[in-house]
Structure 1
Amino acid sequence: MQPIVHSIFEEKTSTWQYIVACPSTKEAVIVDPVLDFDQERLKIGTESAQKLLATVTSNGYQVVRLLETHAHADHLTASSYLQKSLMASGKPRPPICIGKRIRTVQETFAKIYDIPQDEITDVFDHLFNDDEQFRIGTLTATVLHLPGHTPDHVGYLIGENVFTGDSIFNPDVGSARCDFPGGESRALWNSTQKLLSLPPHYRLYTGHDYPPASGGSSDGSKSRDAAPFTTVKQQREDNKHVKNGTSKDEFVRWRSERDAGLREPKLLHPALQVNARGGRLPKNTHKGGVFFKLWVDVPADLM
C-alpha cells in the first residue's frame, strides 16, 4: 500500500510541505511545515499553516506526527503552531519529531544567538535514531540519516517514497549548500548516493524547488512549474550535480567553490532562532511581539 501525498508549495521560501496519509486509517503526518515571516514588515503569520490544517480537516485525517527533516535556515517551522492548533480543536497531541543530532545543532546556535538553555531543552517530543521505524496507520516509515547540508538532516522513507528535505534537489537544481555549521560536501555526496541506490521507480520528494524562470536559465534549463518529486531513475540520469558519471571529488570541488560565493539565506537569523526552539518563539516579548537577536560583524575599533 502506498500513502496518499498532498504536496503544498510555499512560494515565498520555495518550500515544499507534505501531508502523508494512510489510505485505510486516515492517520497522517505533516513534513516540514512553514510559518510565514514577512521580513519587510517584521510580521509572523500562519496562512501557510492554515492551508495545511484545512487539507487535514477536509480529508478527515488524524495527524499522528509532525516531522522535521532538519533545522531549516531559510524558513520558520510551523510545527509548534500546528501542534497547538490541533490540540485546541480537540485532536490528540501529535509529537514533533526530528533526528537525534538536532542536539548538536541546538547547542551551536544557542551559543551564536545566546539562547537560554531552558528554551532549547526538550522542545522536540521525539528524537529519531538512524533507521528507526514508526507507523502511520498501516504504513511503515523509516528514518534515513542524510547529513551534508546539515549534520542533523534526515529523510523519511514511506512506501516507495522518500521525503528528502534538502539532501537532494530536482535534477535541474542539483544539490543544496553545505556551508552551515556541521555541513560537509563529502557527507552530502554520500547521502545522495544512498538515495540514488534505491529502486529506480521510487519517488524522491524534495524540500525545496527553484524552477528556472520564464524563458529558462543560463545553463539551458527550460522554464517549468515547481515540482514536488522526481524518480530515482530521473535523478540518476539528469541531476546536474550527482548524475551517473559524476565523481565524488568532482562534486566536492564544485560544491565547495559554489558555497564560497553564496550569500546567507534571507531568513537565516529568525529561522534558526525559532527552529532551534522546535518552532517556539523567543520568550523575550514586548507589546504583543518578540525580539530576535541579530549577530553583526563589526571592525575592532568600533567595539
Structure 2
Amino acid sequence: MTARTTVQAFFDDKTWTVSYVIVDTATRSAAIVDPVLDFDFKSGRTHTLQADKLIAHVREHGLTVQWILETHAHADHLSSARYLQQHLGGRIAIGERITQVQQTFKKLFNLERGFLPDGTQFDHLFQDDEVFHIGGVEARALLVPGHTPADMAYLVDGAVFVGDTLFMPDVGSARADFPGGDAHALYASMRRILALPPETRMFVCHDYPPAGRAPAWETTVAAQRAHNIHARDNIGEAEFVQMRQARDATLDVPTLILPSIQVNIRAGQLPPPEYDGVSYLKIPLNVIGRTQA
C-alpha cells in the first residue's frame, strides 16, 4: 500500500481465513477486517486465540480501532467482532443487505422472537459506494453480491479487500449456492472489482492453496485478470456460470456453516443465554444440503 497506510495479515490455519489490520500511519487509526473467533465443533467451545493476536498487535503499536469490518456473514468461521469491540472499541459494520441474510436464516433456524432481522445488531450498515474514513484515509464500500446477497468489498488507499468474492488466481472464485447466492451476480461483482486500476492490490479472505504452494492472500487486479482460473479476461459470463453451478453442485456443506451463521448474523454475538445461563446453537435437521441417494 502507499506510505499513508499499512496492512498486517493474520492467517488462521484452521479455517483458512485471513484477517487484516489496516492502519492510517499518520493518525494511528485502524480498521480490522473479518476477524475470527476460534470454535471447536467437537466440544462446542469457543476460544479467542486468533482475536487475542489482533488485540496484542493493536496495543503493541498504539492503534485506535475505528472500524471492525465484515465483508459478509461468513459460513466457514465465527466472527470475533463483538469480542474485539469489547476490548478495543470501534464500530462493527457490514453491508446493508445483511437484513436479507438475517431474514433467511431467522426462518431456517427458527430464531427467538427477539431477534429482529433489521441489521441493528451492527453499528453501521454500508450502502453501495458509501465513503467512510479510517483516520484521514478515505475508504469506499462496494456491493459485490453473488456469494451471498450482502457481500461487500472495501477499497482503501489503492487496495481492495474482497472477502470471498475472489480467491488467489490459482484457486478462482467463491461458491454461489448459499441461500440468496447467484452465479450471474457473482460474475458481475468480479468484473466490477476487476475494473479497478490494474495496479490495485487485492487482499482475499481465504486461501485454499493447491498442493505444493504455501498459503497466500495478496495479489493484484492485473494478476487476477491475466491468470484467475475462473475470472480471467477471456472467460465470459455464460462460461463462468456453467462452471460455477456445476462445481457448486459437487461441494459439501461447509463444516461450520450452522454454528457460524447463527453468530455472524448477530455481529459476532453468541445467541442469548437460556434460563440456565447457557447459550445454545441450533442444528436444523434435514433442511440444508443434498439428499443422499
Give the 3 Å change call, closer, same or farther, for CA 117–288 of structure 1 in structure 2.
Answer: closer
Q: Distance in 2 between matches of 1:94 and 1:132?
A: 18
For residues 1-303 of structure 1, the aligned pairs below 5 Å read: 1=2, 2-86=4-88, 93-120=89-116, 122-213=120-211, 223-285=212-274, 289-297=278-286
SS in 2 for 1:290: coil
Partners of 1:18 and 1:159 in 2: how far apart? 14
Cα deviation for residue 290 of structure 1 reads 2.0
Which whole-Å CA distance do the structure 2 matches of 1:225 and 1:26 have between them? 31
TM-score, length-normalised on structure 2? 0.94
3-state secondary structure, aligned to 2:162: strand
Paired AA for residue 115 in structure 1: L
Give the Cα separation in 1 of the matches to 2:47 and 2:286: 29
Judge conservation of contact 1:64–1:94 (CA < 8 Å) in 2: yes
Query: How far apart are the structure 1 equivalents of 2:72 and 2:62?
Result: 28
Whether the 8 Å contact between 1:110 and 1:117 is mirrored in structure 2 is no
Offset of residue 287 of structure 1 = 5.9
Q: What is the percentage of aligned positions where both structures have the same residue?
A: 46
Amino acid corresponding to residue 71 of structure 1 in structure 2: A
Residue 118 of structure 1 aligns to a residue whose secondary structure is coil
CA–CA distance in structure 2, aligned partners of residues 65 and 115 of structure 1: 28
Provide the rounded CA distance (Å) in 2 between the counterparts of 1:286 and 1:264. 32
Do the aligned partners of 1:140 and 1:159 also contact (CA within 8 Å) in 2? Answer: yes
Letter in 1 for 2:23: A
Alpha-carbon offset, residue 286 of structure 1: 6.8
- For residue 156 of structure 2, what is the amino acid of its counterpart? I
How many pairs does the alignment contain? 283
List alignment gaps of at least 5 residues for structure 1: 87-92, 214-222, 299-303
Normalised to the residue count of structure 1, the TM-score between the two structures is: 0.91
CA distance, structure 1, for counterparts of residue 97 and residue 150 of structure 2: 5
Determine helix, strand or coil for the equivalent of 1:198.
coil
The alpha carbon displacement at 1:200 in A equals 1.0
Whichever residue aligns with residue 179 of structure 2, its letter is P
> Which amino acid counterpart does residue 107 of structure 1 have in structure 2?
Q
Aligned-residue offset at 1:161: 0.3
Contact 1:133-1:140 within 8 A present in 2 as well: yes
SS of the residue aligned with 2:259? helix
Q: CA deviation at 1:199?
A: 1.0
Unaligned runs of 5+ in 2: 288-293
- Give the partner amino acid of 2:17: T
What's the offset of the Cα at 1:117? Answer: 4.2
Deviation (angstroms), 1:288 = 6.1
Q: Contact 1:164–1:206 (CA<8 Å) still a contact in 2?
A: yes
